[in-house]
Structure 1
Amino acid sequence: MTGLYIHIPFCQQKCFYCDFLSLPSDHDQTGEYLKALLKEMDYYSQSMDAGQVFDTVFIGGGTPSLLKIEELEEIFQALFKKFKINPVAEITIECNPESLTFEKIVKLKDLGVNRFSLGVQSFDQGLLEKMGRTHNRERAVEAIADLKRAKVENFSLDFIYGLPQQSLEQWQESLRLVLKFKPNHLSLYNLMVSEGTVFAELAKQGRLELPSEEEQVQMLEMAVALLAAENYSHYEIANFAQPGFESKHNLIYWRNQQYLGLGVGAFSYWQGERRGNTLDLGEYIKTWTEDFQPVFSEIEKITPQQEETETIIMALRLQEGISYEKMKERFQIDFLVKYEKAIDWAISSGLAEEVEGQVFRLTEKGIPVSNQVMIKFLP
């Protein structure tokens, strides 16, 4: 499986928790950015192997749904013209409720999108305001209803827990409401307070009141129980899916497989290298419109040991866990022998388990403290 990621950096405004590369939607360089993006697409389509096929496409941001219909048309026409896309590829676009209309959903379906990822984050109006979100509860509900009305067959909803002053009752209410819509997929993220965000500044001032670690674990446990009762698989630490609706694109990341990232600040794991495109919008536009060549903020050749370690760490995020057979096939190692000490510790601590003598994975007890297990596998 090989993935293609395309970054659209523009947002209506930056949310208080967000540390992703994003810019105001009224930025006067949107047109120039899209021209540069098409040039980058040209470059890679001309330089890659003629037989290269992409099995997933993910348009992320930022907020791609902010783009005008004609801008989205330009991107998708170029995508299918310049690259070989698997006829049954999963093609996802990230959206926010305030910029997703019924008409835009229908058009995106016509352009080839078959999976929508909607950033709801909460159904509680007070919490939405505390996060700096630009939509309200009613608009979120309308956007989900529009997805259903447009007969979208695969959509995912994003939520955050562990928010400032969030109670278990508020979290439960959001979960119960979301289950009424029966999304195919849910991403439930534990709030991370990252440097450079509004939340980080509030925390420094002692003005960010978060639920305790125990309460945050209870929130995850509550979600696991409610979703399991509705036949959702907890297939990754922060992700739940109805059978067959796991995110194929994100599984490429978690299985440490190859993906190409296009756009300002986009990352790739490509041809044995990890590459990060320049984070500077002006530099990105200049390098593609004038120089027609990539400029990276970082580039790293991945050693065989790095690839092995990263594959283990990422696989521990997945319910499918670490297959002994696949580790032997990919890295020519006996996983049980090489990592015996870490395996024994994790199992004896109740944080991991062995399944049918073939797979090592985290237990539900181990998921909230996954980092404690992962660190044991570092060289």
Structure 2
Amino acid sequence: MGVPSYCEALEFAIDRSYDINLDMLRARKLHLDIYNDYPVGTYPPLKAMGTLNPERLLSEIASSIDLYFHIPFCNQYCTFCHFAKEINPRPGRVERYLAALDKEMSWSDAPLAGRSIETAFFGGGTSSMLTNPQLKTLFDMIKQRFDLSKSEVSFELHPSLARQVDAADRISTLLSNGVNRFVLGVQSFDQNILRILNRGHGVHEVRQLVKLLNKMGARNLSLDLIYGLPRQTLRSWYDTLIGLLDIGAETFNIFPLLFKSTDPIARHLSRGQYQFAGAKERIIMHFMAEHILTRLGYRHGPIFYWTKRSQPHAVQQTRKYDSWNDNNLIPFGVGGVGYVSQCQFYNEVDLDRYLLRAERGEKPVWKGIVLSQDDLMRRTVMLALRSSGVSLFRFEKEFGVSLEEYFRRELKKLREAGLINISNEGVLTLTTAGIINSSAVSLQFFSNHVLDRAARTDSRISDKRSDLIERHDYSPAARYGATAEMQAVFSQGR
């Protein structure tokens, strides 16, 4: 079957949107408004963390690990980005950062020796902002410690790379150093929306870069798309999807726009500066993408991921969501988020503090927490639900308790609202309504202790626009609110 027309895709999506009973979900606190809707990628969240001795991270490292390298430099400030970054670094700053990255890696030389590297991911910031000599320096450092020859190696590219005269040389360097998956932050095929987002690239550069990558033999490309953007209409969303399909994209990461109070785009929303899609329109956009991609033979990976390939969308994503607690992610660089030895942690998010600590030979851990058995079970359910689901048999074998008994109250609430399903094979998964409301579903599995710690931290933040914890807490927990007990404590304190 061919590509659905706009009218067909819209009619399908509107019909499907009536299956999502927003009024019922809101009444049961199972739907988060667009300003507070943020997917859970770490647990416990930053606002529930405290100090952590970095040496604790070396105690129980898994035999196979994943690596993350953060490159924090950018040419412009995208209005929706809240990751650690520095705009237009001064001369020598990048070289100093790479040297600090090398020092940070040396901290764990002995403990990580001999570990199998399943995946490595280079993100930012703008990873592709590095010059060709800087890229060679980066990979020379890495190859002294890690063998990436059998790993999935992903590298984020900004479409503006197409404008660089040495774009082919940079891509050649990446390919020759083992990069076998490229991630492009396209976001939209609407030129006006790209300007509002201050993306620093146009539609033409996307086409140019994809063409160059294909010419050079880079076949594994994943394109990021966002719906719910400022001034985005249902028609422009449809045109973006079709435009990217026309250039042969086979893998997508399609997710709703996320708001944080520290980002310019959140202020645009609060001030009414641009028109943004409401909850109903965002649901329609979700179903438009689903209808078009399903018709053309794409299938879901983890909930925001689509691929036409026979293999998984990405090994990195599969390990993050489906490997449970045997997946250790080791981050290097400012703002890196990791999970090692049953510890969830953040590296320093302030670049100057990161540089000073790394240059002293420290592991620059900023905040962290050692997970309890209860935390581990909750984290497992939250992450696995975002992908292939939770096997009841595997859960009981791993933790020694029945998932249905341990989370009886949560499962009852979610099942009655139509957000989860347990198959005949004993696998807990999200329904379509559950996928759309996955953040609210995840929040049901947050412990009261974690919610209260996050809320207490949140209550102490005086300036939400400048606070580092607020900027880097990628969780809806404190936004959702404290438990009733903690709310009473806050009320008495006022």
Q: TM-score range by the shorter chain?
A: over 0.9
Give the aligned partner of residue 151 of structure 2: 89
Give the aligned partner of residue 353 of structure 1: 421
| Aligned mates of 1:261, 1:349 — CA distance in 2 | 38
Q: Does 1:138 align with 2:186?
A: no
Q: Does 1:44 align with 2:102?
A: no
| Aligned mates of 1:212, 1:200 — CA distance in 2 | 14
Q: Does 1:302 align with 2:384?
A: no
Q: Does 1:98 align with 2:164?
A: no
| Aligned mates of 2:394, 2:171 — CA distance in 1 | 39
Q: Does 1:224 align with 2:293?
A: no
Give the aligned partner of residue 187 of structure 1: 253
Cα distance change on mapping 1:49 and 1:115 into 2, 3 Å: closer
Q: Does 1:342 align with 2:410?
A: yes
Which letter does structure 1 place at the counterpart of 2:268? Answer: L
Cα distance change on mapping 1:284 and 1:341 into 2, 3 Å: closer
| Aligned mates of 2:209, 2:103 — CA distance in 1 | 33
1:99-141 Cα deviation digits (max 9, x unpaired) = 2523322221111100000111111101101111100111111
- 2:161/2:209 contact within 8 Å kept: no
Deviation at 1:35, TM superposition (A): 0.5
1:268 aligned to which of 338, 344, 368:
338
Q: Does 1:324 align with 2:384?
A: no
Mark the runs of 5 or more structure 1 residues left unpaired by the alignment.
none
| Aligned mates of 2:215, 2:155 — CA distance in 1 | 18
Give the aligned partner of residue 70 of structure 1: 133
Secondary structure of 1:259 counterpart: strand
Deviation at 1:26, TM superposition (A): 3.4
1:159 aligned to which of 210, 225, 250:
225
> Between Structure 1 and Structure 2, which shows a larger proportion of strand residues?
1
Give the aligned partner of residue 442 of structure 2: 374
Which letter does structure 2 place at the counterpart of 1:376? Answer: Q
1:210-256 Cα deviation digits (max 9, x unpaired) = 11110001001111111111222112221112221412112332234
Q: Does 1:252 align with 2:316?
A: no
Cα distance change on mapping 1:281 and 1:191 into 2, 3 Å: same
Secondary structure of 1:377 counterpart: coil
| Aligned mates of 1:108, 1:38 — CA distance in 2 | 18
Secondary structure of 1:300 counterpart: strand
Deviation at 1:301, TM superposition (A): 1.1
- 2:418/2:434 contact within 8 Å kept: yes
| Aligned mates of 2:377, 2:90 — CA distance in 1 | 42
Deviation at 1:297, TM superposition (A): 1.6
Q: Does 1:288 align with 2:358?
A: yes
| Aligned mates of 2:356, 2:113 — CA distance in 1 | 27
Cα distance change on mapping 1:25 and 1:53 into 2, 3 Å: farther
Which letter does structure 2 place at the counterpart of 1:74? Answer: T
Give the aligned partner of residue 26 of structure 1: 89
How many pairs does the alignment contain? 375
TM-score (norm 2): 0.73
| Aligned mates of 1:102, 1:230 — CA distance in 2 | 31
| Aligned mates of 1:264, 1:376 — CA distance in 2 | 31
| Aligned mates of 1:270, 1:212 — CA distance in 2 | 38
Give the aligned partner of residue 120 of structure 2: 57
- 1:114/1:154 contact within 8 Å kept: yes
Secondary structure of 2:331 counterpart: strand
1:244-289 Cα deviation digits (max 9, x unpaired) = 1412112332234211000011111111212211112122222222
Secondary structure of 1:284 counterpart: helix
1:132-191 Cα deviation digits (max 9, x unpaired) = 110011111111111111121211001111011211100001101111233232111211
Deviation at 1:49, TM superposition (A): 4.4
Give the aligned partner of residue 240 of structure 1: 306
| Aligned mates of 1:95, 1:118 — CA distance in 2 | 5
- 1:160/1:189 contact within 8 Å kept: yes
TM-score (norm 1): 0.94
- 2:251/2:307 contact within 8 Å kept: yes
Which letter does structure 2 place at the counterpart of 1:59? Answer: F
| Aligned mates of 2:270, 2:404 — CA distance in 1 | 44
Which letter does structure 2 place at the counterpart of 1:322? Answer: V
Give the aligned partner of residue 349 of structure 2: 279
- 1:252/1:259 contact within 8 Å kept: no
| Aligned mates of 1:98, 1:329 — CA distance in 2 | 49
Query: How large is the RMSD of aligned CA atoms in angstroms?
Result: 1.7
Which letter does structure 1 place at the counterpart of 2:371? Answer: I
Deviation at 1:340, TM superposition (A): 3.0
Which letter does structure 2 place at the counterpart of 1:368? Answer: I
Deviating more after overlay: 341-350 vs 253-262: 341-350
| Aligned mates of 2:439, 2:336 — CA distance in 1 | 25
**Identity, % of aligned pairs?**
27
Report which of the two structures shows the higher radius of gyration computed on alpha carbons: 2
Q: Does 1:198 align with 2:264?
A: yes
| Aligned mates of 1:248, 1:109 — CA distance in 2 | 18
2:187 aligned to which of 121, 141, 149:
121
Secondary structure of 1:288 counterpart: helix
| Aligned mates of 2:406, 2:356 — CA distance in 1 | 48
Cα distance change on mapping 1:184 and 1:42 into 2, 3 Å: farther
| Aligned mates of 2:249, 2:138 — CA distance in 1 | 27
